[in-house]
Structure 1
C-alpha cells in the first residue's frame, strides 16, 4: 500500500495485522481520488473525515493532496496502531486527529466537513447507518462530498442524500453522494 499522489507520493503505508481490516487497494483509491478530483478541483485546505479509517490510507491520501485537516475514526485496536504509525511516519500529527471508537458514537459536528470518506466492512450496511446519523448531527452540509466504498453488488440508498455517481472497481463499488 502506498500514497498515490501529492506531497507523499510513493510513500509506503503499513496495514493492520490480521484480516479484520480490508485496506482499500491502490487501484481503487486512485480511481476514487480521480473521481473526487474531477469534482472538487483541488483538495487544498479541505476538512476531511476518514471514517472506518483502518490504516488511514484514504485520509492520508487527502492530506498528501493538500487537505487542511483530517479526522480519522477507527475502533479496531490493530488498525489504530497501524493508523498511528502511518500518521507518525508522515509527520502529519498537526493536521491529523485520530479518534479511537465507533463511528456511531460521534456526537454533533461543530461545522460540516468538506469531504467524508467511509470504508465500512462490506455487507454490513454500516456506511448507510453512519451517514443517516451524520446527516442528522450536522456533519454533512450543502457543500459536503461523501465517498462511500462498498462491495460491488451492494445497494446504496441513504435518506436525505442523492447519488452523484458510482463506479465498480474490482470487488468494490465507489459511490459519491451529496445532500439532496
Structure 2
C-alpha cells in the first residue's frame, strides 16, 4: 500500500503512503513479512511518495485476517507497490488482480511478480473507476486505498457492490483520518487502525436480498 496524500501534494492514482518507514529498512525496498515469500526483499521504484505500507500496519491487518486467506480471490485497487496484494499471495491467496494507473508502477509490479515466480496474479494498468465499470468477477478480499481528498472512497465502495464482492467478502479501506467514509449498509466494521494521517478499516460484508437466487414461481 502506498500513498500520495492530499491534492496539495503531488497528485496520484496509485497507493502512495506518507507513512514513515519502519526503522532499519532502507529506502526503495518492500519486505514480505509472512508466508511463502517471507523476508523476501523487492525493489520499490523511485516515484514521489511511493512507499510500502509499514510492516507493523501490514502485520496488524493480516493478523486480523488470520488463516482465512487460503483460497481467497484478491482485488488490490490503487495497488502502488502491491504491498498488500503480494502479502496476501504469500499467505495463500488463490489469485490476485492488482489495478494501478501509473505505468511505471505497473511495470515494477509485473517485475516483482516475476522475481517471486508468481503466476497466479495479474497487473491491470488502468484507472480504478473505469476498471470497476467492466464486467465484474466476485472477489472475497478487496484492498481499497483511494487517493486522499478526491472523493473517490464512497464511489469505489458503491461500485464494488455491483458484482465485485462475494457474499461474505472482507474489504480493507484506508482513508485520511479526517474522513468518515460512506460505505454500503451491509458492510459491518470489524476492526480499525490509525497510522499517521490515515485510518484503515476492515469491513465484513453481509449478503443482501439481491444476492440470493430468485426461485421461479410455480
Q: Normalising by the residue count of structure 2, what TM-score does the alignment of the two structures yield?
A: 0.73
Is the contact between residue 116 and residue 145 of structure 1 (CA under 8 Å) also seen in structure 2?
yes
Provide the residue aligned with 1:3 in structure 2.
Answer: 32
Provide the residue aligned with 1:19 in structure 2.
Answer: 48
CA distance in 2, matches of 1:76, 1:20: 13
Gaps of 5+ in 2: 1-29, 207-218
Provide the residue aligned with 2:127 in structure 1.
Answer: 102
Q: Name the stretch that deviates more: 41-50 or 163-172.
A: 163-172
Offset at residue 128 of structure 1 (A): 2.6
Is the contact between residue 153 and residue 182 of structure 2 (CA under 8 Å) also seen in structure 1?
no
CA distance in 1, matches of 2:60, 2:90: 16
Q: After TM superposition, list the pairs within 5 Å mapping 1:1-180 onto structure 2.
A: 1-19=30-48, 21-37=50-66, 41-92=67-118, 94-106=119-131, 107-110=134-137, 112-136=138-162, 138-160=163-185, 161-180=187-206
CA distance in 2, matches of 1:36, 1:127: 22
Provide the residue aligned with 2:4 in structure 1.
Answer: none
RMSD: 1.7
Give the match's secondary structure for 1:29: helix
CA distance in 2, matches of 1:173, 1:14: 26
- Alignment deviations for residues 16-70 of structure 1 (CA, whole Å, 9 cap, x no partner): 3221534322221111111221xxx331111111111111111110000011100
CA distance in 2, matches of 1:125, 1:147: 17
Q: Normalising by the residue count of structure 1, what TM-score does the alignment of the two structures yield?
A: 0.88
Q: How many residues align?
A: 174
CA distance in 1, matches of 2:120, 2:94: 6
Give the match's secondary structure for 1:132: helix
